[in-house]
Chain A
Amino acid sequence: MTRAQTPFAQAAHRAVRDAMAEDEAVVVIGPNGYGATRPAEELAAEFGVHRVLHAPASEAGLVGVAVGAAMAGLRPLAELPRADRAGQAMDQIANQAARLRYALGGQVGVPLVLRAHADAGAARALEAWCAHVPGLRVAAPASPADAYHLLRDALRQPDPVIVIERDERAVDDEAMDPDASPASWGASRVLREGADVCIVSWSSMVRRALDAAEVLSTEGMEAAVVDLRTLDPLDLSSAVEATARAGRALVVSGGPLTGGFASEVAARLTEEAFDHLEEPILRLAAEDVPASSARALERAAVPDAARIAAAARRLARRGS
């Protein structure tokens, strides 16, 4: 089934195309047939079939092959059109790709990029799984522009990167301009200023945080919104600054709460902005439940703009 490509998917596809044109070492390895790799046919026509490899549904194998190819000098982009399939490849991601530079005493790097495309609700915990692995970089684009720039940047990194794409409704903040880099690799960005509360998020939750901030603004409450962009490297400088200014911060994650990445962000903000805090850092995340296929339950499981606004409102008003 072919679906119209979203601006987010178009931007990511263009990033792959531009990276392949710029660097001959870039090769794409992905399973046959599914949505996110459909443009693979165009890439094969332009760059040749030896640089666009269609694999059967052998996720552990194809990521493992990408690891070896990266060690031997290629720059493989391994595609997982369904992010929940990352589970099958997890040994190669976490125990092999992320560890080999260290385990071999720095003799080799594994500069592969894994592109995991997550439909709504799929693989909610993937960011946290991956961010917990030393040696693995994690990018979480929230906009078409970042879908482009973070993928381009990822394909220039010396170490393995997983780019987790959740484009259910991406931030359409700027026209996608391949020549303009809105922020450098590893830098977070402030999407909205506000002195009453700071909302820190990443990936598809950024759009919801911005919607929540709009609602709060109509009530006379100004929320800063910080998009982390990458979880590793993790740049909390703008979040610390915005939190210090507001004295209160809400960290919003689309993954389950327990053991999730919101906890890491909250802990670090507490350590770094403690002297400025009027209230403890608050986390808002998905319920600690597995994914299901019932839309009503999936909607209820993950924070939406209304729930983000409600939590931010209570936090901003507490003790004042």
Chain B
Amino acid sequence: MQSADLVALYRDMRRMRSFDARARGLRAQAGSADAAAETQLDGDAWSEAGQEAAAGLMRALGADDGFTTHDRGLGLFLARGADPARMFAELAGRGAGYCGGKGGASAMADVGLGHMGGNAVSGAGVPHAVGAALAFRNRREPRVAAAVFDDEGLTQGIVHESLSLAKLWRLPCLFARVGEAGVGDESDKDGTGVLARVSAIGLEVERADGSDAEAVHAAADRLLSGARVGRPGFLDIRPGRPVAGGADGDASVDPLSLTRSVLIARGAAGEEAIDLIDAQAETEMTAALEAALVEAPPSPNALLVDVFAPGEAAPDPVTSRLDRLFAEAAA
């Protein structure tokens, strides 16, 4: 990877880490009496610290490619170019969020950036990427759809059905599993069983160290070339995740520390330049969070909007139904 590209990749990862720390802070406040937390629901925004190397996949995707993620896909959305202030606003249930506050941590997306949705339900977004690939292929567009999921996704039948369909119909699809230590199939901790199953379906398989963003990028790049000509691929990003609870973990497998030392060893960036990137990421995310928290909750009118398409009749609100019933009785 060129020096400038690796620096950019490091910046993505550092921004993801800074975003994640604040996202978890928001989650910790959810449901508390704190007025700032009052608008958001609990149970969202899992920690993604330690999984930043998956940013290599986002840099490998083309600008026109689409993707779906899972319930730890916020960092990938950020790496794709999302505005962190709008992401925090969505997390905090504010109207200015990417989905008007309705999607929250697990669903948030920006279709304009090719993101078709995160998902709280393990594996549920994977077939959506296969469907997007079908649309791209049928319209003869040179685009790939990627499905990013975790080990929980792999334990869902629908994910295996999706892999088979992509292979059967030769769709431009890339499946990326972001491994998490200690989650998923306990009898297959090193993931060889998964790879055997996926290979048996006939997908092209690559494996990358989940602490090595450059390796993830290279593997994704190779698989994308096949996917673009109808050979769907499966990228197994092995668990890195040393950053327990988001604190500083074992530097030898922390994707940030690893990339940092590679940058220095290659002379791609000096300590000071990297420190500056770190500081900028922190400053940027602090400002983004502050900007998000001054936003208002969704307008009450939003409740009945977007149930159906614009122009279609909205659902009959409870209050107008009652008003009508009692008005008729009085008449």
Contacts and interface: CB of A to CB of B under 8 A. Distances in A.
A39 to B, nearest CB: 19
A284 B326 contact: no
B148 to A, nearest CB: 16
Contact of A293 (B38, B44, B158): B44
Of the listed residues A279, A290, A295, the one surrounded by the most CB atoms of chain B closer than 10 A to its CB is: A295
Interface stretch (A57-65, A198-206, A212-220, A228-236): A57-65
A314 interface: yes
A318 B329 contact: yes
Interface stretch (B60-68, B100-108, B126-134, B168-176): B100-108
Contact of A257 (B152, B300, B318): B318
Given A287-B303, A287-B304, A88 B40 contact: no
A85 interface: yes
B261 interface: no
A282 B325 contact: yes
A51 B156 CA distance: 23
B41 interface: yes
Contacts of B93: 293-296
B40 A295 contact: yes
B235 to A, nearest CB: 20
A303 B121 CA distance: 27
A292 interface: yes
Nearest to B323: A314
A91 to B, nearest CB: 11
B155 A297 contact: no
A88 B39 contact: no
Contacts of A85: 121
B293 interface: no
Nearest to A284: B318
B322 interface: yes
B297 interface: yes
A144 B199 CA distance: 50
Interface in A270-303: 279, 282, 284-290, 292-298, 300-301, 303
Interface string B317-331: 110011001100110
A153 interface: no
B322 A297 contact: no
B101 A294 contact: yes
B270 interface: no
A296 B41 contact: no
Nearest to B44: A293
A292 B102 contact: yes
Given A294-B93, A297-B102, A289 B39 contact: no
Interface string B281-293: 0000000000000
B157 A297 contact: no
B101 A88 contact: no
Contacts of B325: 282
B315 A294 contact: no
B184 interface: yes
Interface string B158-190: 100000000000000000000000011110000
Of the listed residues A85, A284, A287, A307, the one surrounded by the most CB atoms of chain B closer than 10 A to its CB is: A287
Contacts of A33: 183
Contact of A294 (B42, B102, B304): B102
B177 to A, nearest CB: 14
B269 to A, nearest CB: 37
A38 to B, nearest CB: 15
A119 B42 contact: yes
Of the listed residues A87, A282, A290, A292, the one surrounded by the most CB atoms of chain B closer than 10 A to its CB is: A292
A319 interface: yes
A33 B155 CA distance: 15
Given A288-B316, A289-B315, A297-B298, A57 B122 contact: yes
Contacts of B183: 32-33
Given A294-B298, A295-B38, A319-B329, A300 B303 contact: yes
Given A57-B156, A292-B102, A297-B303, A318 B318 contact: no
A119 B43 CA distance: 9
Nearest to A279: B329
A296 B300 contact: yes
Nearest to A317: B326
A293 B307 contact: no
B120 interface: yes
A319 B330 CA distance: 7
Given A121-B41, A297-B101, A289 B307 contact: yes
B279 interface: no
A88 B186 CA distance: 22
A163 to B, nearest CB: 21
A194 B123 CA distance: 50
B276 interface: no
Contacts of B294: none
Contacts of A319: 329
A313 to B, nearest CB: 11
Interface of A: 32-33, 56-61, 84-85, 87-88, 119-121, 257, 279, 282, 284-290, 292-298, 300-301, 303, 307, 311, 314, 318-319
Given A56-B185, A294-B94, A314-B322, 5 more contacts: A57-B153, A88-B121, A257-B318, A292-B104, A295-B38
13 contacts: A32-B183, A56-B151, A57-B123, A85-B121, A288-B315, A294-B297, A295-B297, A296-B101, A296-B298, A296-B300, A297-B300, A297-B302, A307-B318
**Cβ-closest 8 pairs across A and B:** A293-B104, A56-B155, A294-B101, A292-B102, A288-B315, A296-B297, A294-B93, A57-B152
